[in-house]
């Protein structure tokens, strides 16, 4: 189908304005359009009519923290370009239409070799859209390193210049995770925000005030809440306390990634986060190279990883180092654990990450003027098909999608 053709999606429940509504969806030139202009101004009919067979049509999922998958590790990949393409293509199967490839703490040579070769890229049949890089480290607290190699962890001794010396480039970077208790953090955060880079706090021993200071300086995100940070304490709740802090400017929303893979975060913890601060909750996979692969040994960054009993562990230890659950799985686990609405679970994987990146005017919704990135789901929220810019880029086997007189 041509990008300029007018496409009408019928017989569906679409997610718009936090509600599932029985309404047609209209797409042209890769964008969602207002049908009133078609009816009253252009006075034309659709070139193509797609029968959705009663399924849910929701915004495409957006994963802002994924280290790799399907045998590829973004921090340890001989050919990063082909590796990115491989992951981007396979993510379509689980409804992900956009993602931030995440680079964990690594030697300087890795940053200098890999970062210039990861470009923001529009999605399509070749794979999901690349929204920009998420740099998770090395400016973190060694005492909360998780799977990050301790020999590569750094301080901000030279302030913002430390970032330049380490990364060599910040082009195509969308998110940087920092431990807020590091020295010169205020200056670094303000500089990053001026470059339109989202700052996330995490892998931290920071207390609540450290987190509040970082948010006031411009940070707006918490990296995988509950994981790799001080546990909640009633006298000082640490970074977790940001969800209920009254020292955050009223116009600011603190967003937080959370891994609902059934392993990293207990169902009760998911419920606590959801009930405390639902507006900021962002589902992330924190997926590693073994996502989509069988159990065994693999690599993440500079460490050996073992996949055992559905968990990704630092080889020879019981330390979790990432998830192997897809976003489709995370949405379903979160829905069952929290008892939230279907609408909310879907928006936690689409609207909220888009808001956290400041791109909700084009991604994460089915509003008029937005990108026509969406998924077809059944009533159990299984992904049936994935669409990017109004093009069907993945269809589950045996799923029939009627288009005009034929079948896609």
Peptide bond into 138 cis (omega under 30): yes
Q: Is 85 annotated as a binding residue?
A: no
| CA–CA gap between residue 119 and residue 127 (Å, rounded) | 14
Q: Is 202 annotated as a binding residue?
A: no
Catalytic residues: 286
- Could you tell me how far CA 140 lies from the centroid of its own chain? 20
Q: Is 314 left (phi over 0), alpha (psi -120 to 50) or beta?
A: beta
126 is in an annotated binding site: no
Helix (H, G, I), strand (E, B), or coil: what is residue 31?
A: strand
Q: Is 136 annotated as a binding residue?
A: yes
Has 264 been labeled as part of a binding site? yes
Q: Any known ligand binding at 77?
A: no
Helix (H) or strand (E) holding 32: strand 31-32
Look-up of token digits 């750094």? 154
Q: How far apart, in Å, are the Cα atoms of 49 and each of 45, 57, 71, 267?
A: 10, 15, 38, 42
147 is in an annotated binding site: yes
CB 269 within 8 A of CB 226: yes
Would you say 268 is a known binding-site residue?
A: no
Q: Kind of pairing, strands 281-283 and 255-258? A: parallel
- Say whether 29 counts as a known binding-site residue: no
Q: What token pair was written down for 386?
A: 């994935």
Q: Which residues fall in the annotated binding site for substrate? A: 147, 227-228, 235, 264, 320-322
Residue ranges of the annotated binding site are: 136, 147, 203, 224, 227-228, 235, 264, 320-322
Residue positions in the annotated binding site for Zn(2+)?
136, 203, 224
């Amino acid at each position: 189908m041509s990008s300029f053709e007018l496409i009408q999606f019928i017989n569906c429940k679409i997610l718009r304005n936090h509600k599932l509504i029985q309404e047609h969806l209209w797409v042209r030139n890769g964008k969602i359009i207002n049908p009133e202009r078609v009816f009253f101004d252009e006075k034309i009919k659709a070139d193509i009519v797609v029968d959705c067979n009663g399924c849910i049509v929701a915004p495409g999922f957006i994963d802002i923290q994924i280290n790799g998958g399907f045998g590829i590790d973004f921090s340890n990949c001989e050919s990063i370009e082909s590796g990115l393409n491989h992951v981007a293509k396979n993510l379509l199967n689980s409804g992900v239409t956009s993602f931030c490839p995440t680079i964990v703490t690594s030697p300087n040579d890795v940053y200098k070799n890999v970062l210039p070769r990861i470009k923001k890229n529009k999605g399509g049949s070749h794979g999901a859209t690349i929204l920009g890089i998420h740099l998770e480290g090395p400016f973190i607290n060694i005492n909360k390193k998780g799977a990050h190699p301790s020999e590569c962890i750094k301080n901000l001794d030279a302030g913002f210049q430390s970032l330049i010396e380490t990364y060599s480039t910040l082009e195509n970077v969308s998110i940087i995770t920092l431990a807020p208790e590091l020295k010169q953090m205020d200056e670094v955060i303000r500089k990053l925000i001026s470059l339109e880079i989202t700052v996330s706090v995490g892998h931290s021993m920071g207390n609540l005030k450290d987190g509040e200071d970082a948010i006031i300086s411009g940070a707006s995100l918490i990296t995988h809440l509950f994981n790799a940070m001080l546990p909640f304490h009633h006298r000082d709740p640490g970074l977790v306390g940001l969800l209920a802090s009254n020292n955050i400017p009223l116009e600011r929303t603190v967003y937080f990634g959370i891994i609902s893979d059934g392993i990293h975060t207990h169902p009760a913890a998911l419920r606590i986060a959801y009930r405390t601060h639902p507006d900021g909750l962002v589902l992330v996979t924190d997926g590693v190279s073994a996502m989509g692969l069988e159990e065994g040994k693999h690599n993440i960054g500079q460490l050996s990883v073992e996949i055992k009993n559905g968990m990704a562990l630092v080889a020879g230890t019981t330390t979790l180092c990432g998830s192997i659950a897809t976003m489709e799985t995370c949405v379903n686990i979160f829905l069952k654990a929290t008892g939230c609405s279907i609408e909310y679970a879907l928006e936690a994987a689409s609207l909220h990450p888009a808001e956290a990146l400041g791109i909700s005017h084009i991604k994460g919704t089915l509003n008029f003027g937005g990108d026509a990135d969406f998924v077809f789901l059944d009533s159990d929220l299984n992904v049936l098909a994935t669409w990017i810019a109004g093009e069907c880029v993945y269809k589950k086997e045996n799923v029939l999608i009627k288009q005009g007189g034929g079948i896609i």
